Copies of this chain bind each other. A is one copy, B any other.
Amino acid sequence: MAAEDRRLRERATRVIPKGMYGHMSTALMPDGIPQFYTRASGTRLWDADGRIYVDCLSAYGPNLLGYADPAVQSAVLAQQALCDTASGPSPLMVDLAEALVGMIDYAAWALFCKNGSDATSIALMTARAHRGRRKILVGRNTYHGAHGWSTPRPAGTLASDREHLIYFAFNDPDSFEAALGQADNDLAGIIVTPCRHEVFEDQRDFAPMMAKRLRDVCDERDAVLVLDEVRTGFRLSTSSAWQPLGIAPDISCWGKVLGNGQPISCVLGSDRLRDAAGRIYVTGSFWYSAVPMAAALETLRQIRETDYLARMETAGRLFRDGLDERARATGFSLRQTGAVTMPQVMFEDDPDLRRVYRFCQVAAQHGALLSPYHNMFMNAAMTSADIAVVLDAAEAAFDDLRGRRSDLPAVPPGAAERAQKAAVPQPL
């Protein structure tokens, strides 16, 4: 651990619970992954010790177009000079709602908030308000944010937080039908992610047949199909992740990328849910602020008018193919799963994760920031030169790993156990 990062961690331990919390804590990361960053530009991050990384985490999603994308930055600075948080929203809020309704074919309205968790909780409230029913079907161990009903760690939550949730196993029709039977006449809705992208797991696509069945069930029962696009939004498609399937949800949740790093999330819904969305009461002090909306308008413009997705896919393919090639050359075999724009990389024959942890540690020493357990996020600023830096770092890491295994350091407590648990089929 570099000197300044260590000093900051020591100070943080005194004034922040456990020194850091949530998904940005490095407690489960390999040694040597920085906890703190001082500068971000394009594809690069600077840590507190002045080391520079090509960042394949992209702020865990928000960085879609490159850190401080010049056009987004201009929009931010121009709006910052006019008005941000005031006693009412800016007209930009209407422009932004119109832009989203114009881009997502099933969307008739937008409701803006701050966090992805806000958006998923609002989606459930809207689904329940629709017909006054209570049960929501949820994928087992699927992350839909960190509110009490979904947070992955139970401390401080109540059994009643999840009282009307019914879980089903991913892509398992029998499990789904059993859950549906349990909901009986009280089915408010179903919430799913477009693909499975849980930490410590391979990513998996949603089976089109399952998506079709969910849609049919919600149509038959006047229930609400919620698609949680907080993580996938605009990285799988310039529109809905389910557009290729020809299946529309009733409500979708967006966050992370919407303002290219500016804090904004939203819920989109079909006309059928307009009344329900108008009856719930949700709000936040900063939900109406204008600067993130200015950033979102420019981000959406680039999504509509530029080849950002093709660029990001190209970077993702170079990354995936290059890693595979270098792995093969050094005798390793990788499991690379999910879309190339949201890569998850695991090693075969690595049950206790020592290899992937050491791999990410050495890659960081060579200037590439990778995660051993969380899916990564490509961004549209990445060039072949950036990916070359990453692949050179990966090559150094594969070389380091060659012939080593039992002498590799153990991973942080809990990490290997979580990976093993994830590999076991889930009980109903």
> How far, in whole Å, are A286 and B39 apart by their CA atoms in the complex?
16
Separation in Å of the A211 CB from the closest CB of chain B?
A: 25
Judged by a CB distance under 8 angstroms, whether A365 is at the interface is no
Chain B CB within 8 A of A61 CB: yes
A15 near B97 with CB under 8 A, answer: yes
The closest CB in chain B to the CB of A269 belongs to B17
Kindly report which residue of chain B lies nearest to residue A118, judged by CB atoms.
B115
Q: Is A77 an interface residue (CB 8 A)?
A: yes
Taking CB atoms, residues of chain B closer than 8 Å to A284 are: 22, 114-117, 146
Which of A272-280, A318-326, A350-358 participates in binding chain B? Answer: A272-280
By beta carbon, the residue of chain B nearest A12 is: B94
Q: Does A201 contact B (CB under 8 A)?
A: no
CB distance from A236 to the nearest CB of B (A): 18
**A79-87, A172-180, A213-221 - the one binding chain B:** A79-87
A404 beta carbon closer than 8 Å to chain B = no
- B97 contacts A35, CB within 8 Å? no
- Enumerate A252-295 residues with CB–CB distance to B below 8 Å: 255-256, 261-263, 265, 269, 274, 276-289, 292
A40 and B80 CA atoms in complex are apart in Å by 10
Collect the chain B residues with CB atoms within 8 Å of residue A36's CB: 88-91, 93-94
- Interface: A108 (CB within 8 A): yes
Residue A8, interface by CB 8 Å: yes
Apart from A22-B287, A36-B88, 16 more pairs, CB < 8 Å: A15-B108, A17-B274, A21-B282, A37-B90, A40-B85, A73-B80, A114-B115, A114-B286, A121-B147, A128-B156, A129-B156, A146-B282, A152-B281, A155-B280, A163-B163, A255-B285
Q: In the complex, which residues of chain B have a beta carbon less than 8 angstroms from the beta carbon of A51?
A: none
Q: A160's contact among B55, B80, B155, B160, by CB below 8 Å, is which? A: B160
- List A residues 14-70 near B (Cβ within 8 Å): 15-18, 20-24, 26, 34-40, 45-46, 48, 55, 57-63, 67-68
- B-binding residues in A (CB < 8 A): 8, 11-12, 15-18, 20-24, 26, 34-40, 45-46, 48, 55, 57-63, 67-68, 73, 76-77, 80-91, 93-94, 97-98, 100-101, 108-111, 114-118, 121, 124-129, 134, 146-148, 151-153, 155-158, 160-161, 163-164, 230, 255-256, 261-263, 265, 269, 274, 276-289, 292, 369
Q: How far is the CA of A109 from the CA of B288 in the complex (A)?
A: 29
The interface residues of chain B lying within 8 Å CB-to-CB of A59 are 85-87, 285
Contact of A146 among B46, B89, B146, B281 (CB under 8 A): B281
Partner of A63, one of B68, B85, B89: B85
Residues of chain B within 8 A of A116, CB atoms compared: 284-285
| Contact A155 B87, CB 8 Å, known A80-B77, A286-B115 | no
> Are A263 and B114 in contact (CB-based, < 8 A)?
yes
CB nearest neighbor in B for A97: B15
Q: With A and B bound together, what is the CA distance between A82 and B37 in angstroms?
A: 10
Distance of A3 Cα from B250 Cα, bound (Å): 34
Chain B residues within 8 Å of A110, by CB: 15-16
A99 to chain B, nearest CB (A): 9
Residues of chain B within 8 A of A77, CB atoms compared = 77, 80
Quick check: B37 and A87 within 8 Å, CB to CB? Answer: yes
With A83-B38, A160-B160, A278-B21 already in contact, the answer to whether A8 and B111 are too (CB < 8 A) is no
**How far apart are the CA atoms of A36 and B61 in the complex, in Å?**
31
Is the Cβ of A48 less than 8 Å from the Cβ of B91?
yes
- Residue of B whose beta carbon sits closest to that of A284: B115
Is A37 in contact with B109, judged by CB distance below 8 angstroms? Answer: no
| Min distance, Cβ A71 to any Cβ of chain B, angstroms | 14
Residues in B with CB closer than 8 Å to A57 are 87
A35 to B288 Cα, complex, angstroms: 11
* A285 in contact with B60 (CB, 8 Å): yes
Q: How far is the CB of A150 from chain B (nearest CB, A)?
A: 10
Q: Which of B87, B256, B262, B289 contacts A58 (CB 8 A)?
A: B87
Query: Which among B8, B16, B88, B155 is the interface contact of A125 at CB below 8 angstroms?
Result: B155
Q: Which residue of B94, B111, B148, B163 is within 8 Å of A11 (Cβ)?
A: B94
